[in-house]
Amino acid sequence: MNDNARLNYDALATLLEQHNMVATAAEVHGVICGLICGGMAKDDVRWQQHFNDLLNDGFGLPAELKKAVNLLFYRVYEDLLGQQRFELLLPVDDDPLDDRLDAMMEWAGAFLAGFGVVQQELNKASPELREMIQDISSITQVSAEFEQEDEESEAAFVVLYEHLKLGATLAFEEFGKGEPAPRRPTLH
């Protein structure tokens, strides 16, 4: 995971706590990614109302938090356009695996919520994306308890992490308002 995303997770979590927000940093990032990947254009300000409806009972955000969320929205958009830079906003690798898995499950659920608000025509998605959305839904229900923190559990976490990144990227390619990326051949 990239260090830039890591640094921002703690800062965003602290900012959310300072403003008594119930949402986690992973949920904020997940909703933003879902909105963008569902087709919300970079210059369409309606994303803010969708965001507020999903994470703040429809209320607006305090100015400082709104500024941070807006910056995050634009950064995520640019990262998705650049594909290689896109990372999920989760706790650092040094945090307990259970905490990181909880955040990943929160991110996945929030992504689906944001995606579903914007993208109502999943039947127009490729079979690969429909399967990926189902996989993301399954990740929201992964058991949050690992028997132990070992290399095997860590490897499983990385596989889920990469799968979520791939799902978001695929959704953005199909429904996002960015530059369409060339189709990658399907490997079987």
**Does a structural domain hold residue 133?**
yes
Closest CA to 161 of 135, 187, 143, 185: 135
Intra-chain end-to-end CA distance of the chain, in Å = 26
How many domains is the chain built from?
1
What is the predicted pLDDT for the residue at 181? 42
One DSSP character per residue, 130-187 reads: HHHHHHHHHHTTS-S--S--SHHHHHHHHHHHHHHHHHHHHHHHHH-SSPPPPPPPPP
What is the predicted pLDDT for the residue at 135? 94
Tell me the pLDDT band of 149, cut-offs 50, 70 and 90.
confident
Instruction: Please state the separation of Cα 138 from the chain's center in Å.
Output: 15
**Does a structural domain hold residue 185?**
no
**Does a structural domain hold residue 78?**
yes
pLDDT per residue over 71-106, tens digit each? 999 999 999 988 778 999 999 888 999 899 999 999
Angle at 141 between CA 111 and CA 18, to 5 degrees: 55
The CATH number for 15's domain is: 1.20.120.740
**Does a structural domain hold residue 136?**
yes
182 pLDDT above the threshold of 70: no
6 pLDDT above the threshold of 90: no
2 pLDDT above the threshold of 50: no
> What range does the domain containing 68 cover?
3-175
Locate 110 and state its tokens.
């929030």
**Does a structural domain hold residue 158?**
yes
pLDDT per residue over 117-146, tens digit each? 998 888 889 999 999 999 999 999 886 556
What is the predicted pLDDT for the residue at 4? 47
* pTM, 2 dp: 0.87
What is the predicted pLDDT for the residue at 120? 82
Residues 9, 90 contacting (CB under 8 angstroms): yes
What is the predicted pLDDT for the residue at 7? 47
**Does a structural domain hold residue 184?**
no
Locate 156 and state its tokens.
């499983």
**Does a structural domain hold residue 188?**
no
**Does a structural domain hold residue 186?**
no
Tell me the pLDDT band of 176, cut-offs 50, 70 and 90.
confident
Q: For residue 83, what are the CA distances in angstroms to 70, 97, 132, 143, 161? A: 20, 26, 17, 29, 15
